[in-house]
């Protein structure tokens, strides 16, 4: 049986999948650090669309 290893996305230490309750993280500390990044919006995708100007009505699709 071969072990699966990856790098922890937070600290980059080598972490093993098998028997690791925090996988893909190496520890609870790294798992919580990642959760904190999600909650702070660090992983947000920037909005590249510009909102319509107030003079332009939004288009509606009526079928």
Instruction: Give the pLDDT confidence score for residue 11 in this predicted structure.
Output: 97
Rounded Cα gap, residues 21 and 27, in angstroms: 8
Instruction: Give the pLDDT confidence score for residue 15 in this predicted structure.
Output: 93
Q: Among all chains, which residue has been given the structure tokens 């190496």?
A: 26
Instruction: Give the pLDDT confidence score for residue 2 in this predicted structure.
Output: 55
Instruction: Give the pLDDT confidence score for residue 57 in this predicted structure.
Output: 59
**pTM of the predicted protein model:** 0.62
Tell whether the model's pLDDT for residue 1 goes beyond 60.
Answer: no
Reported as a single tens digit per residue, the pLDDT across 3-62 is 678 999 999 999 999 999 999 999 999 999 999 999 998 988 888 888 777 875 566 666
The CA-CA-CA angle for residues 50, 52, 54, to 5°, reads 135
SS3 at position 33: helix
């Amino acid at each position: 049986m071969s072990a699966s290893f990856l790098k922890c996305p937070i600290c980059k230490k080598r972490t093993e999948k098998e028997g690791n309750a925090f996988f893909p993280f190496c520890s609870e500390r790294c798992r919580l650090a990642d959760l904190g990044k999600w909650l702070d919006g660090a992983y947000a995708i920037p909005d590249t669309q510009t909102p319509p100007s107030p003079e332009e009505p939004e288009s509606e699709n009526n079928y």
